[in-house]
A and B are shown apart, each in its own frame.
Chain A
Amino acid sequence: MSVRTFLAAPEGFEAEALVRATAPAIGLRLGEDDVAEIAMNLERSAGFAALLADIPQIDLEEPAPVFRAEPAP
């Protein structure tokens, strides 16, 4: 396909290192066999995230509404 269905992670992104560092911080114990598979998924997400990072000024945009302050019913 000429459209991009898959995007590579940015160069230098060390997914396995991120997996090993994050697992204890969020209470997960991982088998060694899992680390590479999880890292591969994170690399995929990093590729998509890089596409968003390329949008000019995105960090200054307003996020989608996720909370509405409303009076109690």
Chain B
Amino acid sequence: MSAAAISEAVRAGRMSISESVNRALDACAADRCNAVTALLADRARTRAARMDAQGETNGPLAGVPFAVKNIFDVAGQTTRAGSAATDGDAPAREDAFVIRALEAAGAVLVATTNMDEFAYGFSGENAHDGDTLNPRDRRLSPGGSSSGSAALVASGAVPLALGTDTNGSARVPAALSGAIGFKPSYGRLSRNGVFPFVPSLDHVGIFAANVSDAARAFAAMDQPDPADPIAARVPQAELAAPRVARLGGWFAAPLQEDVATAMEAACTALDVRETLELRHAEEARAASFILTTSEGGQTHLARLAARPEGYGPLVRHRLTAGAMSPAIWTTRAQKLRRMVSVELADLHAQADILIAPATPCPAFPVGTDTHEVAGSALPIRLGIGMFTQALTLTGVPIIVLARRGELSGLPVGVQLIAAPHAEATLLASAAKLEAAGFHTAPEEASHV
């Protein structure tokens, strides 16, 4: 059931909150994708029973079960961030701001989810907790780093989940798993209580089965929070008739056929008549890569020095290399960041919404290093996020919608990209695209 259907059923008295929560807990317990890292059954049942007893059924998300990537603080739990390096950390004293916001709207947290270690990866691989599997085909990766959150929503176990997006960690798994993946503007949703990775790029991301549910969750969390130093909230009014253009250049790279067909379909549905080029897109992707490795390395330096054995080797070596990056690399990346943000603003002066592919191909086999795309070998760990990573450092709101590819039968996604704080227009355009067939129904949870 969608979040809207659950809250409506709860409000109308057709379903208790306990019933909704128990269904989700059962579905999460039956998870066969290694998506769940902790089932919060006692907490969820206690809260649901109290809400039922007190008649708390009027919230916009009343009775809606949700899950969070285990990078979010959950009171009483150690925030693992997908790593054994956090094993000795003290339990969180309170829930992350966005969890508190969703629960204030009536939602109920039921589980934490698997992820790439410290959010550093696109593949859903994890050396400590095991790899997350794609609910559409368990031989395949669901994408990462918010792999478990995407997989749980795509499986139908929960209608909503939270992840993070630094280089595409919500958008890539949304495309590969078949869910809505929504990254609001940088600073729009509070990161207070989220384990940091790359503070100048970290965003909270939303997974939902449909655009309306994503919008509902966004509205519940869209609140000022002085505890997040980069908090920024400048809502823009929805435009009645947004102009839509396609991004060319870097984003017109050879695509797997289902992705290429999806792009054409999205452009037709949104009446695209123009292609625009982000001139420094390739350099923007390089800058994001450098900022990620260097800032991530700095975030982790003390922990790398104290207990390097807690890290999986892949991530330990990446972060250590980042901590050693020459300063001129990062200052050039920051300069490029400003240049490309100005370039993108110029494009948004010509078109309110831009369309780009989310990934070059559908889901790839778990554990693979390269994957064939349009006749060439794509290095998966570097290449699968090439279209999301090129945009992330501009901080603009982006939503991914997926549909099933005709050849592969797998979800493939497109990104809709709006100007900073134009979430209202972005969500309206996304709803229009969803109505044109960009929707991938969740799998039946019992079959996953």
Contact = CB atoms under 8 A, between A and B. Distances in A.
Contact of A1 (B293, B304, B325, B373): B373
B223 interface: no
Contact of A18 (B226, B324, B373): B324
Interface in A1-28: 1-7, 18-19, 22-23, 26-28
Interface string A48-62: 110111010011011
Given A27-B301, A63-B335, A52 B287 contact: yes
A2 B253 contact: yes
B254 A2 contact: yes
A73 to B, nearest CB: 8
Contacts of A38: 317, 320-321, 324
Contacts of A23: 324
Q: In this complex, which of A4, A55, A64, A73 has the most chain B Cβ atoms within 10 angstroms of its Cβ?
A: A64
Given A27-B301, A41-B318, A66-B200, A51 B373 contact: no
B373 A61 contact: no
Contacts of A22: 324
Interface string B350-382: 000000000010000000000001101011001
Contact of B250 (A3, A28, A73): A3
Given A1-B373, A5-B379, A6-B379, A52 B283 contact: yes
B65 to A, nearest CB: 37
Contact of B290 (A6, A27, A30, A48): A48
Interface string B369-397: 00001101011001100100000010000
Interface string B18-38: 000000000000000000000
A61 B253 CA distance: 28
Contacts of B280: 55
Main secondary structure of the interface of B (DSSP, over half): helix
Interface stretch (B136-144, B239-247, B326-334, B435-443): B326-334
Contacts of B254: 1-3
Instruction: Classify chain B: how many residues form its interface, as a range.
Output: 35 or more
Contacts of A63: 331, 334-335, 337-338
B343 interface: no
Nearest to A18: B324
A72 to B, nearest CB: 12
A48 B379 contact: no
B290 A52 contact: yes
A48 B286 contact: yes
A1 to B, nearest CB: 5
Nearest to A1: B376
Nearest to B360: A1
Interface in B284-315: 286-287, 289-290, 293-294, 301, 304-305, 308, 313
A32 interface: no
Contacts of A48: 286-287, 289-290
B219 interface: no
Contact of B321 (A3, A45, A62): A45
B95 interface: no
Contacts of A18: 324
Contacts of A49: 286, 290, 325-326, 328-329, 332-333
Interface in B190-230: 200, 226
A42 B360 contact: no
A73 B237 CA distance: 28
A13 to B, nearest CB: 11
A42 B304 CA distance: 17
A61 B324 contact: no
A6 B382 contact: yes
B378 A61 contact: no
B62 interface: no
What 10 A-B pairs come out closest when comparing CB atoms?
A41-B321, A48-B286, A64-B337, A63-B334, A61-B335, A5-B383, A49-B329, A37-B317, A64-B338, A3-B253
Interface of B: 200, 226, 250, 253-254, 280, 282-283, 286-287, 289-290, 293-294, 301, 304-305, 308, 313, 316-318, 320-326, 328-329, 331-339, 341, 360, 373-374, 376, 378-379, 382-383, 386, 393
Interface of A: 1-7, 18-19, 22-23, 26-30, 34, 37-42, 44-46, 48-49, 51-53, 55, 58-59, 61-66, 73
8 contacts: A27-B301, A39-B321, A45-B322, A49-B290, A52-B290, A61-B335, A61-B339, A62-B335
Given A26-B301, A28-B301, A44-B382, 20 more contacts: A1-B373, A1-B374, A3-B253, A4-B282, A5-B382, A18-B324, A19-B321, A22-B324, A23-B324, A28-B305, A28-B308, A39-B321, A42-B321, A42-B325, A45-B329, A48-B286, A59-B332, A59-B335, A61-B339, A62-B338
